[in-house]
Chains A and B, each alone.
Chain A
Amino acid sequence: MIELAFLVILLAGGMAAVAAANSLVRVIIGTEVVIMAGIWGAALSHDLSLLAVAAVVGVAETVLMVAAVYRLAKEGYV
């Protein structure tokens, strides 16, 4: 039960951070918390392959998000 509670904490906490954000950097930080919820959800499946894929996908799309916000910041949108 506590495993599910931890998942809900990460999901709701990340979304609360996104809802309270006033800049794109905060939106990314809140989304990172939700990515951790995804990694934790993969860990709950007790399958190491799924956990590895979740971690790597988290890496890949974090790289893309940060690159996008870097580009936006260079053009003055952040």
Chain B
Amino acid sequence: MLWVVSVLAVLLVLAIIRTRDNILAAVSLTFLGIAVAGAVWLLRPEFSIAFILITLVYVVAALTLVIVAAASLSEESRAVEMRPVALASLGALPLLLLPGTGREVATVHVDLTLLPLVAVLLLFSFVVAAELSHD
């Protein structure tokens, strides 16, 4: 079943690359988030699906709105050139061939000591974001 999601992901990425419309690309990104959440569900059905799915979908959908707002804020466009950076990042792909431990037993409990750390991280990033976009 996972290859269906893979084909879907390829199509969505192609849609993101080919379309000239930022809003269509953001909507494709939302659907790609749903596809990844479905892939996690297919990989490990015993994971708490609600958490993963809600996080992915909510975040991508909510931030889509912000991206769209930022995109429509200014009409003056200045071209960016990121091709060398992207190609250099792709140079790290052979690292995937390194052998892993191949653990098959799933850990289905969330470590509760993560919660305050994660909360502090989120609070920090929201405060910084508010400072950045203010005034």
A positions within 8 Å CB-CB of B: 2-30, 32-33, 36, 39-40, 43-49, 51-53, 55-64, 66-71, 73-74, 76-78
Number of A-B contacts (CB under 8 A): 202
Task: Look across to chain A and name the residue whose beta carbon is closest to the beta carbon of B103.
Answer: A46
Is there an interface contact between B83 and A2, defined as CB atoms closer than 8 Å?
Answer: no
A14 vs B90: C-alpha distance when bound (angstroms): 10
B50 on the A face (CB < 8 A): no
Give the chain B neighbours of A53 by CB distance below 8 A. Answer: 114, 118
Give the chain A neighbours of B132 by CB distance below 8 A. Answer: 64, 67-68, 70-71
Give the chain B neighbours of A51 by CB distance below 8 A. Answer: 40, 47, 52
B positions within 8 Å CB-CB of A: 2-3, 5-6, 9-10, 13, 16-17, 22, 25-26, 29, 32-33, 36, 39-40, 43-44, 47-48, 51-52, 55-56, 59-60, 63, 66-67, 69-71, 73-74, 76-80, 82-83, 85-87, 89-90, 93, 96, 103-111, 114, 118, 121-122, 124-126, 128-130, 132-133
Of the listed residues B5, B33, B82, the one surrounded by the most CB atoms of chain A closer than 10 A to its CB is B82
A40 vs B7: C-alpha distance when bound (angstroms): 16
Q: How far is the CB of A46 from chain B (nearest CB, A)?
A: 4
Chain B interface mostly? helix
Tell whether A73 pairs with B29 under 8 Å between CB atoms, given A48-B48, A48-B107. no
20 other contacts beyond A36-B36, A51-B47, A51-B52, with CB at 8 A cut-off? A6-B39, A7-B96, A13-B9, A13-B10, A18-B89, A19-B87, A26-B22, A26-B25, A29-B29, A33-B16, A39-B40, A49-B110, A52-B118, A53-B114, A55-B51, A61-B125, A63-B63, A64-B129, A77-B78, A78-B78
